[in-house]
Chains A and B, each alone.
Chain A
Amino acid sequence: QVQLVESGGGVVQPGRSLRLSCAASGFTFSSYGMHWVRQAPGKGLEWVAVISYDGSNKYYADSVKGRFTISRDNSKNTLYLQMNSLRAEDTAVYYCAKEDTAMENWGQGTLVTVSS
């Protein structure tokens, strides 16, 4: 069965960096686009970024453009999100999701808290 496991979250000071990982299993990772979606405490879902199956195309939400970078290593079945210049408003649970006809599978999320 499809499994997506995020890691790398934690508490970080404003202006610092953090890299999230999403380990995928149970499907052919290299055949699917992947998303990062975040959810601030008590708030709704916010799309962050998407990467195509081969990493050739990447798109970002305006709120993170220029600060976050999505990437993937198909040999390791792993998706990444490099987050730089973090702000308090980036505090959220970050989910990775597999793209097919929809975001059909989601991980359990990893919490990122940006605070001094």
Chain B
Amino acid sequence: NFMLTQPHSVSESPGKTVTISCTRSSGSIASNYVQWYQQRPGSSPTTVIYEDNQRPSGVPDRFSGSIDSSSNSASLTISGLKTEDEADYYCQSYDSSSVVFGGGTKLTVL
């Protein structure tokens, strides 16, 4: 089994760009798709990125995802930050017959 490690928290100002990383501990980041979920306080998670870099309909194009094999990590980038983007973000991938979540990153927009 592998782990997905995310920074505990990040903060940035409105209008700026922030990137949240998700590093896979073993095995290639490219071997299984990575998803990203947003969870606002008191709400259920919603998908913002699936299959590494795909956006569900309704998710603004300010959200983008990528993977980097050299660092064995995935990244979620949010540009043109808005206060409504303040939330917890979780990366997620698969490991043979199980699902792995990262520990989550609290994004503060101030």
Contact = CB atoms under 8 A, between A and B. Distances in A.
Interface residues of A, number: 18
A106 B37 CA distance: 11
A109 B97 CA distance: 24
B45 interface: yes
A34 to B, nearest CB: 12
Contacts of A44: 88, 90, 101-104
Contact of A106 (B44, B51, B97, B99): B44
B54 interface: yes
Contacts of B99: 35, 37, 47, 50
A103 B49 CA distance: 11
B47 interface: yes
B92 interface: yes
A71 to B, nearest CB: 17
A103 B45 contact: yes
B98 interface: yes
B54 A101 contact: yes
B35 interface: yes
Contacts of A35: 99
Contact of B101 (A45, A50, A107, A108): A45
Contacts of A109: 44
B45 A106 contact: yes
A50 B45 CA distance: 17
A45 B104 contact: yes
Interface of A: 35, 37, 44-47, 50, 59, 61, 95, 101-104, 106-109
Interface of B: 33, 35, 37, 39, 44-47, 50-51, 54, 56, 88, 90, 92, 97-104
13 contacts: A35-B99, A37-B101, A44-B103, A44-B104, A47-B98, A47-B101, A61-B98, A101-B33, A102-B50, A102-B51, A102-B92, A104-B47, A106-B45
